[in-house]
Amino acid sequence: MINLSISSLSTIYVQVAVSATISGVLYNPTSDVVQMAFMTGTKKPGVSDWKTGSWETVPGPTYFAQVLVGPSGTVALTVGQYMVWLKIVDNPEVPVASVGTLTVE
Protein backbone atom coordinates (compact mmCIF):
# COMPACT_ATOMS: atom_id res chain seq x y z
CA MET A 1 0.00 0.00 0.00
CA ILE A 2 1.17 3.51 -0.76
CA ASN A 3 0.58 6.60 1.33
CA LEU A 4 2.02 9.56 -0.55
CA SER A 5 1.74 13.35 -0.25
CA ILE A 6 2.76 15.66 -3.09
CA SER A 7 2.60 19.36 -3.83
CA SER A 8 -0.04 20.47 -6.34
CA LEU A 9 2.86 22.21 -8.14
CA SER A 10 4.83 18.96 -8.63
CA THR A 11 4.82 16.62 -11.59
CA ILE A 12 6.06 13.21 -10.44
CA TYR A 13 5.55 9.52 -11.09
CA VAL A 14 3.23 7.87 -8.61
CA GLN A 15 4.55 4.33 -8.38
CA VAL A 16 3.08 1.09 -7.05
CA ALA A 17 5.26 -1.94 -6.38
CA VAL A 18 4.01 -5.06 -8.18
CA SER A 19 5.17 -8.59 -7.54
CA ALA A 20 3.51 -11.35 -9.56
CA THR A 21 3.62 -15.13 -9.70
CA ILE A 22 1.96 -17.77 -11.84
CA SER A 23 1.63 -21.17 -10.16
CA GLY A 24 4.28 -20.11 -7.66
CA VAL A 25 6.78 -19.04 -10.33
CA LEU A 26 7.87 -15.38 -10.56
CA TYR A 27 6.26 -13.56 -13.50
CA ASN A 28 7.41 -10.38 -15.23
CA PRO A 29 4.21 -8.32 -15.79
CA THR A 30 5.85 -5.52 -17.79
CA SER A 31 4.36 -6.73 -21.08
CA ASP A 32 0.85 -6.28 -19.61
CA VAL A 33 -1.10 -3.03 -19.92
CA VAL A 34 -1.13 -1.15 -16.62
CA GLN A 35 -3.65 1.53 -15.65
CA MET A 36 -4.26 3.63 -12.56
CA ALA A 37 -7.24 5.63 -11.33
CA PHE A 38 -7.36 8.35 -8.68
CA MET A 39 -10.74 8.50 -6.97
CA THR A 40 -12.22 10.74 -4.27
CA GLY A 41 -14.15 9.26 -1.36
CA THR A 42 -15.33 5.68 -1.70
CA LYS A 43 -16.10 5.83 -5.43
CA LYS A 44 -14.89 2.90 -7.49
CA PRO A 45 -13.32 3.65 -10.90
CA GLY A 46 -15.47 3.67 -14.00
CA VAL A 47 -14.27 3.08 -17.57
CA SER A 48 -13.30 6.73 -18.14
CA ASP A 49 -11.38 7.01 -14.84
CA TRP A 50 -8.51 4.70 -15.86
CA LYS A 51 -5.29 6.35 -17.04
CA THR A 52 -2.72 4.35 -18.97
CA GLY A 53 0.52 3.97 -17.09
CA SER A 54 3.91 2.50 -17.76
CA TRP A 55 6.36 0.17 -16.06
CA GLU A 56 9.62 1.04 -14.37
CA THR A 57 11.72 -1.84 -15.64
CA VAL A 58 13.92 -2.42 -12.63
CA PRO A 59 15.01 -6.07 -12.66
CA GLY A 60 12.41 -8.12 -10.74
CA PRO A 61 11.02 -9.78 -8.83
CA THR A 62 9.40 -6.45 -7.87
CA TYR A 63 8.34 -4.11 -10.67
CA PHE A 64 6.85 -0.62 -10.46
CA ALA A 65 3.63 0.45 -12.20
CA GLN A 66 3.57 4.21 -12.61
CA VAL A 67 1.56 7.19 -13.85
CA LEU A 68 2.89 10.74 -14.19
CA VAL A 69 0.78 12.98 -11.93
CA GLY A 70 0.85 16.78 -11.90
CA PRO A 71 0.16 19.90 -13.96
CA SER A 72 2.18 18.64 -16.95
CA GLY A 73 1.59 14.93 -16.34
CA THR A 74 -0.83 12.31 -17.59
CA VAL A 75 -3.16 13.13 -14.69
CA ALA A 76 -3.64 16.63 -13.23
CA LEU A 77 -5.27 16.50 -9.79
CA THR A 78 -6.62 19.32 -7.64
CA VAL A 79 -5.82 19.67 -3.94
CA GLY A 80 -7.42 16.81 -2.01
CA GLN A 81 -7.11 13.17 -1.03
CA TYR A 82 -7.43 10.37 -3.57
CA MET A 83 -7.71 6.61 -3.35
CA VAL A 84 -5.25 5.08 -5.82
CA TRP A 85 -6.45 2.09 -7.86
CA LEU A 86 -4.31 -0.24 -9.97
CA LYS A 87 -5.46 -2.38 -12.90
CA ILE A 88 -3.26 -4.82 -14.81
CA VAL A 89 -4.72 -6.14 -18.06
CA ASP A 90 -3.53 -9.71 -18.66
CA ASN A 91 -5.20 -12.70 -20.26
CA PRO A 92 -7.41 -14.12 -18.86
CA GLU A 93 -6.98 -12.34 -15.53
CA VAL A 94 -7.46 -8.59 -15.01
CA PRO A 95 -6.65 -7.83 -11.38
CA VAL A 96 -7.98 -4.54 -9.97
CA ALA A 97 -7.06 -3.33 -6.47
CA SER A 98 -7.18 -0.28 -4.26
CA VAL A 99 -3.49 0.27 -3.46
CA GLY A 100 -3.34 3.29 -1.15
CA THR A 101 -3.85 7.02 -0.86
CA LEU A 102 -2.42 10.09 -2.53
CA THR A 103 -2.75 13.49 -0.90
CA VAL A 104 -2.27 16.54 -3.11
CA GLU A 105 -1.44 19.66 -1.08
CATH architecture observed for domain 2-100: Sandwich (2.60)
Instruction: Decide if 17 contacts 62 (C-beta within 8 A).
Output: yes
What residue ranges do the domains of the chain occupy? 2-100
Res 17: pLDDT: 93
The Cβ-side half-sphere exposure at 33, using a 13 Å CA radius, reads 10
pTM for this prediction: 0.93
Residue 21 — very low, low, confident or very high, per pLDDT cuts 50/70/90? confident
**Closest of 72, 69, 58 to residue 105, by C-alpha:** 69
Res 60: pLDDT: 66
pLDDT one-digit tens code per residue, 36-87? 999 999 999 999 999 999 999 877 678 999 999 999 999 999 999 999 999 9
Beta-carbon contacts of 26 under 8 Å, excluding residues fewer than 6 positions away, are: 19, 20, 60, 61
